[in-house]
Structure 1
Amino acid sequence: MKITSIEVFDCKLGKDDPSLSYFNPVFIRINTDEGISGIGEAGLAYGSGANAAVGIFKDLAPSLIGEDPLNIESIWEKYYRGTFWGMGGGPIFYSGMSAIDIALWDIKGKKFNAPIYQLIGGKTNPQLRAYASQLQFGWDKNQRALFKPEEYAEAAIKAVDDGYDCIKVDPIQFYGDSQEFNALSKPKQSYFGLLEPQDIKRAYNRLKAMREAVGPEIKIILEVHSLLGVNSAIQLARAVEDLNIYFFEEPTNPMNSDAFSKVADKVNIPLSGGERCYTRWGYRELLEKQSIAVIQPDACLVGGITESKKICDYANIYHATVQVHVCGGPISTAASLHIETAIPNFIVHEHHTVALKEKMIELCKYDYQPIDGYFKVPELPGLGQELNDEIIKKYFAYEIK
C-alpha cells in the first residue's frame, strides 16, 4: 500500500455561526492506492494558530507521497529526527505531525478491519465516564459568556440533568461587566501577580453557586487556562478549598516545572495539565517531580496516537491518571476515545461544550455523544469516523499529490 495524496480542509466555522468565530478546525485526509483513506485533525482549532496548521502540511505532507502508511513508527521517527524542527517541538509542528499520525492509524485500522483501540492494547475500559467541560460558555446549543453566579448554577444543573456527575469551569475567564462575548480579550494583568480581593470573590461566588446547585456528590474541576502565576494560583486554590474541587487544571504555566511543583506543594487540590506539552519530553519533568496528578495530552497536538499512548504509559509509572484533552472537532473526540479505552490509567473524558454545536457536529458523518454521562468507543474499523463530504467540501484548502 502506498500513499498517493493528502487533502487539507480549513473549517472556518465562523462563516456560518458567528458565535464560533474563534473555532477553526483543520482536518486532513490521506489517500492510498488501495482506496483506503484515513482522516486526522490538527489540534489548533482554538486560540491563534489554525492558519499555521493549514500551512504546515505543505512542509510535512510531500514526504508522505509513496510511503507505506502502515509503517507508522518509522514515519513518526522520520518526522521527529529528519525535519530538524521535530526535535524542537511546538504546537504548529506537532499539530501537523499529530494529524498525520492519527490518519495513518485510521488507515491501519481499516486495512485490518479493526478499531484502533484493538491495535493499541484492546478494551481496558468498556465505558468512559465523561465530564461537561467549559461551563463558563453555558451548556447548550448556543455559545455565550456567563458572568453572574446564577448563570453558572444554571449551566451546572443543565449538565447534571444530562447525566454528568462531573463538570468543569473556568471562573476567572470572564471578569468584566459587559455581557458581550469576546474570546480574544486580554486576561487581567493582575492575574499574573497577586489576585485582588474582588477577583477571588468573583471566582469563589461562581464556584459556590455551582456547588450549591448540584450538591456535594458532583465533581467540579477548576480550570484557569494557565492565566495565573504561582502565587495567584496558590491564592485561588486555598480560597476555594472548602468547595471540594476534584482537581485544578493548568494552575500556572507547566513549561516551568519548578513553578508547577511549588503550587502542588502549597495546596491540597490535585493538579492537572498538559494540553500545551508536546511529546514525552514535554512531560518528563512534570512526571518525575510528581507534581501532576492528571495528565491531559491532546492527541491532535502531542504527537498523535503513537505518542499519546507512550505518554500515558509513562505517566502510569508515576501514578498519574489520564484525561485526554479534547477541544476540537469530531476527529479529536474519536481519537481520544480509542486511547482512553485502551489505557489502564484513564480517569475521565473531556466533553467540551463546543461538541454540542451543530456546525461542529456536521463536519463529520457520525455524532458521538455520551449517554447519561458515559461514552462508548466507536467499534467501526479505524477511528470509526468519516468526513461529511457534503459539508466539508466547502472548506477544502488544497491537495498534495
Structure 2
Amino acid sequence: MTTSVEQNVNTYSRPSDLKITDLRIANLAGLPMRCTIIRIDTNQGISGYGEVRDGASKTYALLLKSRLLGENPCNIDKIFRKIKQFGHHARQAGGVCGVEMALMDLAGKAYGVPAYQLAGGKFRDKILCYSDTPSVPDGKEMGRRLKARMEQGFKFLKMDVGIGLLRDVPGALIAPPGMLETRTVMHQFTGIQITDKGIDHLCQYVADVRSEIGYEIPLAVDHFGHIGLKSCIRLGKALDQFTLAWYEDMIPWQFPEQWAQLTQAVDTPTCTGEDIYLKEGFKPLLEHHAVDIIHPDLASSGGILETKKIGDMAQDYGIAMAMHMAGSPISCLANVHCAAATENFLVLENHSVDIPEWNELVTGLPNPLIQDGYIQVPEKPGLGFDDINEELFRKYLDPRDPIYFDQPTDAWDNEWSWDRLWS
C-alpha cells in the first residue's frame, strides 16, 4: 500500500536507488548572453537541468561528468563538496554551479517538492525583479526608457552611469595612453581620473533621469568604468544627492579595505559580489563592513544552497542580498527558489525582458514569467518548469558551437585525476 508521503514521490524506483548515468549540454546564444544548459540523466528516467553562467566555457561542466557518474543526485551536499574544488571566482564557477542547480532540480522531482523546500522552505511567495535597461547618451531619453519599465510593472530600476558616457565629452576624463580601451586592467591600476566637468556631466544625466521617473521607485546604478578609488569617492559623493538604491561594482570585489573606505565616504548604499565564488569569498567584505548590499550571481556563487548560506551569513552582519542574473529561465528559476528561501533577499535582476521568446524556452510557466514586477515562486517539483522547448532551444543554438543534448559526451566519461587535496 502506498503511503501518503510516497504519493508525492516518483516510485519508478526509489530516490535512494537513483543514480546519475549521463551529462549532456546544449549551447545557447542571444538570450542576450551565451550560456550552456546542462542536463543530468538518471537510471530512473528523470532528468535535471542546470546552467553554466553566461559567457563561461562548457568545459567547466563537462570535466565534472566523470565525478558525477554513479552518484545519487539526491546527495546534493556530498556531491557539491566533491566538485567545488573545480570552481573558482566569476565564470570559472559555472560548471559547479550549473551541476548544483541540476541536482536540486533532480532531487525535487524525485521527492515531489519544489527546490525552495530543499533549501528550508520559503519566506515569500513572489520575487521582486528589476530589468536590465541598455544605456543611451541622453539622460532624458534614458529616463523615458526607465519610465517604460515602470509602465511594464517594474517597481525597481537600474541603469548604467559611468565613464562610457564621457568618452565624447572634452575635458571629462584624464587617462594614460590606451587605458580607456583596455578591458583587462583592474580599476586601481588604469590611472584614469574623472574631472569636475565629467562629474557635473554625470550629475546632470542622473538629474534628467530623475526628472522623468521621479523618486517613488528605487533606482540603482552600475558600470562606472575602470576608475580608481579616489575618483569613485568623488563621483559617489556628487551622486549622493539623487538617493540612489546602490552603487554597484565601483571597484573590484577583491579589495575589501578599499570597499570599506568607499562605503564610509558616501551616503548611498554600496553593492558588489556577482563574481565571488562560495561563502568564504564574501566573508572579508562582511568582516570589514565593506559593503551595504551583497550581490551574488547564483551561477558563480555556488548554486542554490551555497547562495542561501551566503545570504544567511550576510544577514548576521545586518546586510541585505540582491541577486545578479543574466541567463535563461533555468538559471532564473534557480535564483527564484533561492530568493524565496533567503530571508534578507532584496531584488533579482533579469537581462532578457526584451526577448519575448526567452520565457518560452521552457514550458509550464506563466507567460510572461515576470508579472507586475514579480515572479511567482513555482510550486511544481524541482525548479518548477515542465520541460524544455526543443524547437526554441534549436533556434537559439550558438552558431559558433551549436551543440544540442542529442550529441553524446562519452569522451568525458573517464576523465580522471587524483583529486584529493591532502596527503
TM-score, structure 2 as length reference: 0.81
* Correspondence list, 1:189-208, <5 A: 193-208=192-207
Structure 1 counterpart of 2:139, one-letter code: P
Of 130, 135, 150, the match for 2:140: 150
Structure 1 counterpart of 2:250, one-letter code: P
Of 403, 408, 414, the match for 1:399: 408
What is the aligned partner in structure 2 of residue 102 from structure 1? 101
Q: Secondary structure at the match of 2:247?
A: strand
What is the aligned partner in structure 2 of residue 274 from structure 1? 273
Q: Could you list the runs of 5+ residues in structure 1 that have no partner in the other structure?
A: 15-19, 138-144, 179-183
Q: Does 1:165 align with 2:141?
A: no
Structure 1 counterpart of 2:47, one-letter code: S
Structure 2 counterpart of 1:400, one-letter code: T
Q: Could you list the runs of 5+ residues in structure 2 that have no partner in the other structure?
A: 1-17, 170-179, 411-423
CA contact (8 A) 1:330 1:355 kept: no
* Correspondence list, 1:1-400, <5 A: 1-13=18-30, 20=32, 23-45=33-55, 50=56, 53-81=57-85, 85-86=86-87, 89-133=88-132, 135=133, 137=134, 145-172=135-162, 174-175=164-165, 176-177=167-168, 186=182, 193-224=192-223, 227-352=226-351, 354-358=352-356, 360-365=358-363, 366=365, 367=367, 369-385=369-385, 386-393=387-394, 394=397, 395-397=402-404, 398-400=407-409
Structure 2 CA distance for aligned equivalents of residues 155 and 163 of structure 1: 13
CA contact (8 A) 2:140 2:212 kept: no
CA contact (8 A) 1:13 1:360 kept: no
Structure 1 CA distance for aligned equivalents of residues 300 and 224 of structure 2: 16
Structure 1 CA distance for aligned equivalents of residues 113 and 191 of structure 2: 48
Structure 2 CA distance for aligned equivalents of residues 333 and 260 of structure 1: 28
State the number of aligned residues: 368
Q: Secondary structure at the match of 2:300?
A: coil
Structure 1 counterpart of 2:380, one-letter code: L
Q: Percent identity?
A: 28
Shift of 1:339: 0.7
Structure 2 counterpart of 1:391, one-letter code: L
- CA deviations over 1:11-31 (Å, ceiling 9, x no partner): 1329xxxxx4xx212110111
Based on CA coordinates, which of the two structures has the bigger radius of gyration? Answer: 2
CA contact (8 A) 1:62 1:400 kept: no
CA contact (8 A) 1:121 1:343 kept: no
- CA deviations over 1:189-223 (Å, ceiling 9, x no partner): 99854212343233222211111111121211111
Structure 2 counterpart of 1:304, one-letter code: G
- CA deviations over 1:60-94 (Å, ceiling 9, x no partner): 1122111111111111111135xxx55xx233431
TM-score, structure 1 as length reference: 0.85
RMSD value, Cα: 2.4
Q: Secondary structure at the match of 1:13?
A: coil
Shift of 1:350: 1.8
CA contact (8 A) 1:146 1:174 kept: no
